[in-house]
Structure 1
């Protein structure tokens, strides 16, 4: 019930005759580019997720520093 090497070669020849080698090459490069783009997107997503927790404490620290530098004054009204 399985495919033999002869069956696969005949199938490949039929596909090449129908689509042509140029079109198959374009399909292969498009598919490869899509896979590469997907992998790069997954890497960027994981890099952003790893960087996000590290960035949050820095922002908290800078707002805490700003709170220390705040000057407290009294408002006087003109009479």
Structure 2
């Protein structure tokens, strides 16, 4: 077997793995969407829930810094 065929076979394996993972990612994305829809149907605000999920991913220091800057901007605009 030539070296070119081995490289092509390996490349194909990588591509197929990526395709499978992309399909799994799509399935997980659909599952997450379903959870938000379920929460919305029971009266929760999905947009706010998304913000909370995003904030929970942030380190506490970064979140506090962001909130301080937000408060500064709101004050500057007279929205506090």
TM-score (norm 1): 0.47
TM-score (norm 2): 0.47
Radius of gyration: which is bigger?
Answer: 1
Compare the two structures and name the one with the higher helix fraction: 2
